[in-house]
Amino acid sequence: SKYIYPFGGSAPKPTVDPSKQIVGGKGLGLQVMSKIGVDVPPGFTLTTTLCPIYAKENDLPAEVWKGVRDNVRRIEVDMEKEFGSMSMPGMMDTVLNIGLNDVTVDGLAKATGNERFAWDSYRRLLDMYGEVVLGIPHEDFEKRFDKVKEAAGAANDVDLGVEELKTLCNEYKQVYVEQGKEFPMDPYKQLYACVKAVFGSWMTPRAVKYREINNIKNLIGTATNIQTMVFGNMGDDSGTGVAFSRNPSTGENVMYGEYLINAQGEDVVAGIRTPQPISQMKEVLPAAYAKFLENVEKLEVYFKDMQDVEFTVEKGKLWMLQCRNGKRTGVAAIKIAIDLVNEGKCTQSEALLKVEPRHVEQLLHPTFSADALKSDAYTKGIVAKGLPGSPGAAVGKLVFTPKQAEEEKANGASVILVRETTSPEDVGGMWAAAGILTARGGMTSHAAVVARGWGKPCVCGCSDIVVSEENQTVLVKDTNEVFKAGDVISINGATGEVIRNVIPVETPGLKGGLETLLGWADQEEGVMKVLANADSGPDATQAAENGAMGIGLCRTEHMFFNPERLPIVRRWIFHTECLDDLDHIKHFQRSDFKDLFVAMNGKHVTIRLLDPPLHEFLPRPEQVHEKVAEELGFGKDVPRMLARIESMHEENPMLGLRGCRLGIVKPEFTQMQVEAIMSAAADFMEECPDTAKVHPRIMIPLIGSIKEYKNQALLIKQEAERIKAERKLDIPYEIGTMIEVPRAALVSDKIASLVDDEDGKPLCSFFSYGTNDLTQMTMGISRDDSNGFIPKYLEMGIFEDDPFQTIDEEGVGYMVNHSANLGKRINPNISLSVCGEHGGDPKSIEFFDSLGLNYVSCSPYRVPVARLAAGQIRV
């Protein structure tokens, strides 16, 4: 049947691996392991395509149920066992030991000669079936478990004997009675109900939330795996574990994981018992361990990637239960990608695809600085130590519930979520938190795995503390120190330390491995270039360090916002006739521009003429008093100054006197800026005649009509030529425009066709798409006021992405495409780029690449992410 994919035992080996979309991640791993000769307990996968059928019909097609029975029979033959117990771990929910009942539990006891094991398996089934299939709260079982343990004076579950386990099963059955629910004794009824429960679990709120947070879209549903049980709880020659083929925090090439002797899988993952490090398994189960290493190596070679595996040893024999490419931190992702290339396991291009944009972002995110780590605040502030669940530094207010975390985050607070342990229900709050701290659970506990996937700092298994959600307190056992909700603490996910104080953090930036990897990205054939939006020398230097190939946008107005300069700019705005102030502005602009040329030596430096409405620079009325009025040339006449400010007010400044309109109304400002740019270039060339290279590009903002463009372009040209002649230097400058008003996109051919009537030469050599304004004006959504409804739109699915982050391909993207085509039709060599926020967004970058644009320009700290994204598209 197209709905069923058998694996293991006598199952046919697939020649082509099935699609992960159809059999799910776990199903694919099982198919591959079965194919390459790694022992997996035989079973079969029901495809994801059944998920929507189940959602609609509340049942599965008859042919599927028949297929289930046929496959169970095949497995019975393969294993020479009768269907008594099976596992059925799905993506969302897992039920182990299906098929046990009051009768088969005795059969299992006899067949295995291990009565305790049989009853232990049965009580687990009663618990999991109740919870997963019938929705009985796990705590109801947990309470009975504690009661029986207490009565028996047992500290651990392994300390319970046969009789106590039998009592426990009876107690569990009581839970069903209390809840008015029934546990079916017929194994097939159990199986069918479990299959339905797994398909049904796809739409549970926690699964929906998980997909939402991780931006998982366009999946059909979950697959369901039905698999023979192998038992890790059959005595001291049995066990179970989870491991990564390399360290998922650091990337170091050593097996990393944990195992438990005489236990079933959920004991490890749930963090109930504290497992042993995997390396110790070599001593206790040497043969199984050797086989395990061999299997993991085979899988790494096949998948060309670090593996996350689960296994069980049953009476000395190793079975692999699951494999997948492991989740990892940013640091680990980069190290692993490079190591795999060096080990010959994958190519450079393949390695690029193993690093995600968020991994690169993580490296640009905070850790505690070396100095901070040595400070007294840190060393004397350590109150407890847990396991280093996920590296990174977090500082924030303590919260005790996921709900509080979400609320506090919404209010702009940074919070540390502290829990006894976390479960999938907590993911919303975990996402909202800056860091996560748990009292229980190992390195593969839920909290650690989830946090590592997100690159969020996590300290787990911190047994030095007692967490009380009820009292909203954390008690430090040794010292009796108590922390309350709202207290600020710091956590160090790399060491597991919990610190009482606020510790300063820093960001590592590009070092070693990342630079190598991004170098590979830059080498991909035909890769789109990445430039930076930078407005000052230091910004430009940072951009160059991050690998920017130039400056795609310098917003000159950013040079004005400095306490010494602002009064001069303001004076000029109030008294434009005063040329001294304009001269003064020219003076500091010239020196700033030179810094940019020096930092970029020879690379394009694109400088945009003044763009924002002038009143943005003015003081707010409440800041105006006599001293200010005097300083700005109004004597002490405050009312007159206020009247001037009032007269410049605009109802709709984004559509008011800004962009090229300013330069047209006040041509002297355009002239001044061009003179500053060209003089700065000349200064640098004269200062370093042998080494200096300059390439200024002068960019006109907010063009809508061709006459606007021509007006400014001719002015620029005249001024630039004047400086060139004066300084007797051939400065290779270019003139171009932002395309950010929809009308400019529609008439782009006309802009590209413009020539200087005197010499017949083209006037426009580049377009840079200002997708921030283009989005604002194409969609009619204010950049500054969109927060009132965009979150709601995203939630309701009216927008798939925030259009100010990810380009709206259909509308705004159409404008870009249309304009680019018109521009290229007139001038095949026209340079086309994007300098809006979208230039740093991987999804948008892919779209711009598909349009054949030459480069994107984004903020300096997005440059590494953009380089990776641009390279990956070309792999």
Cβ distance to ligand PEP smaller for residue 109 or 856: 856
Q: Could you identify the residue written with the tokens 């953009």? A: 866
Per CB under 6 A, the segment of 41-49, 133-141, 223-231, 771-779 that binds ligand PEP is 771-779
Q: Who's near 403: CB < 8 A, 6+ residues apart?
A: 429
Q: Could you identify the residue written with the tokens 């109004």? A: 634
Based on the shown chain and the rule CB under 6 A, indicate whether residue 386 belongs to the binding site for ligand PEP.
Answer: no
Based on the shown chain and the rule CB under 6 A, indicate whether residue 860 belongs to the binding site for ligand PEP.
Answer: no
Binding-site annotation, residues for Mg(2+) = 740, 773
CB of residue 770 to Mg ion, shortest distance in Å: 4
**How many whole angstroms separate alpha carbon 24 and alpha carbon 199?**
12
**How many whole angstroms separate alpha carbon 442 and alpha carbon 386?**
9
| The one among 232, 391, 663, 770 contacting ligand PEP by CB under 6 A | 770
**How many whole angstroms separate alpha carbon 185 and alpha carbon 823?**
74
Strand residues in 342-441 grouped as ranges (E): 367-368, 382-385, 387-390, 393-399, 415-419, 435-438
Cβ distance to Mg ion smaller for residue 356 or 740: 740
Q: Which does 836 bind (CB under 5 to 8 A by kind): Mg ion, ligand PEP, none?
A: ligand PEP
Strand residues in 543-679 grouped as ranges (E): 550-555, 604-608
Q: Interface residues for ligand PEP in 540-569 (CB under 6 A)?
A: 553, 555
Based on the shown chain and the rule CB under 6 A, indicate whether residue 304 belongs to the binding site for ligand PEP.
Answer: no
Cβ distance to ligand PEP smaller for residue 325 or 772: 772
- What is the 3-state secondary structure of 657-696? CCCHHHHHHCHHHHHHHHHHHHHHHHHHHHHCCCCCCCCE
CA distances from 819 to 50, 686, 837, 839, 858 (A): 45, 39, 19, 17, 21
Cβ distance to ligand PEP smaller for residue 457 or 836: 836
CB of residue 143 to ligand PEP, shortest distance in Å: 58
CB of residue 836 to ligand PEP, shortest distance in Å: 3
| The one among 224, 771, 819, 872 contacting ligand PEP by CB under 6 A | 771
Based on the shown chain and the rule CB under 6 A, indicate whether residue 740 belongs to the binding site for ligand PEP.
Answer: yes
Q: Interface residues for Mg ion in 695-754 (CB under 5 A)?
A: 740
Cβ distance to ligand PEP smaller for residue 247 or 712: 712
> 832 near 853, Cβ under 8 Å?
yes
Cβ distance to Mg ion smaller for residue 438 or 712: 712
Q: What is the x/- site pattern for ligand PEP, positions 320-349, by CB under 6 A?
A: ------------------------------
Q: What is the x/- site pattern for Mg ion, positions 764-783, by CB under 5 A?
A: ------x--x----------
| The one among 24, 496, 836, 842 contacting ligand PEP by CB under 6 A | 836
Give the nearest residue (CB) to Mg ion: 773
Cα Rg for the chain, rounded, in angstroms?
33
| The one among 369, 772, 782, 821 contacting ligand PEP by CB under 6 A | 772
Binding-site annotation, residues = 555, 608, 740, 770-773
| The one among 719, 773, 809, 841 contacting ligand PEP by CB under 6 A | 773
Cβ distance to Mg ion smaller for residue 268 or 610: 610
**How many whole angstroms separate alpha carbon 267 and alpha carbon 811?**
52
Q: Cα–chain-centroid distance for residue 589?
A: 38
Q: Interface residues for ligand PEP in 617-646 (CB under 6 A)?
A: none
**How many whole angstroms separate alpha carbon 345 and alpha carbon 356?**
19
Q: Which does 93 bind (CB under 5 to 8 A by kind): Mg ion, ligand PEP, none?
A: none
Q: Interface residues for ligand PEP in 168-207 (CB under 6 A)?
A: none
Q: Please give the positions annotated as active site.
A: 446, 835
> 383 near 476, Cβ under 8 Å?
yes
> 333 near 361, Cβ under 8 Å?
no
At 111 the three-state DSSP class reads: helix
Q: Interface residues for ligand PEP in 68-107 (CB under 6 A)?
A: none
CB of residue 678 to ligand PEP, shortest distance in Å: 23
What totals of helices (H) and strands (E) does the chain contain, helices first?
36, 31
Based on the shown chain and the rule CB under 5 A, indicate whether residue 339 belongs to the binding site for Mg ion.
Answer: no
Please list, residue by residue across 605-620, b when 16 or more beta carbons sit within 10 angstroms of its beta carbon and e when fewer do.
bbbbbbbbbbbebbbe
> 569 near 507, Cβ under 8 Å?
no
- What is the 3-state secondary structure of 426-466? HHHHHHHCCEEEECCCCCCCHHHHHHHHHCCCEEECCCCEE
Q: Which does 722 bind (CB under 5 to 8 A by kind): ligand PEP, Mg ion, none?
A: none
Q: What is the x/- site pattern for ligand PEP, positions 408-437, by CB under 6 A?
A: ------------------------------
Cβ distance to ligand PEP smaller for residue 71 or 771: 771
Q: Which amino acid is at 676?
A: A
State phi, psi for 731 to the nearest 5 degrees. Answer: -90, 120
Strand bridging mode 415-419 / 435-438 = parallel
Based on the shown chain and the rule CB under 6 A, indicate whether residue 808 belongs to the binding site for ligand PEP.
Answer: no
Per CB under 6 A, the segment of 177-185, 329-337, 468-476, 769-777 that binds ligand PEP is 769-777
Based on the shown chain and the rule CB under 6 A, indicate whether residue 300 belongs to the binding site for ligand PEP.
Answer: no
Give the tokens for residue 824. Answer: 């290229």
Cβ distance to ligand PEP smaller for residue 278 or 530: 530
Instruction: Give the number of residues in contact with ligand PEP, rule: CB under 6 A.
Output: 10
Based on the shown chain and the rule CB under 6 A, indicate whether residue 835 belongs to the binding site for ligand PEP.
Answer: yes
List residues near Mg ion by CB under 5 A.
740, 770, 773
Q: Which residues bind ligand PEP (CB under 6 A)?
A: 553, 555, 611, 740, 770-773, 835-836
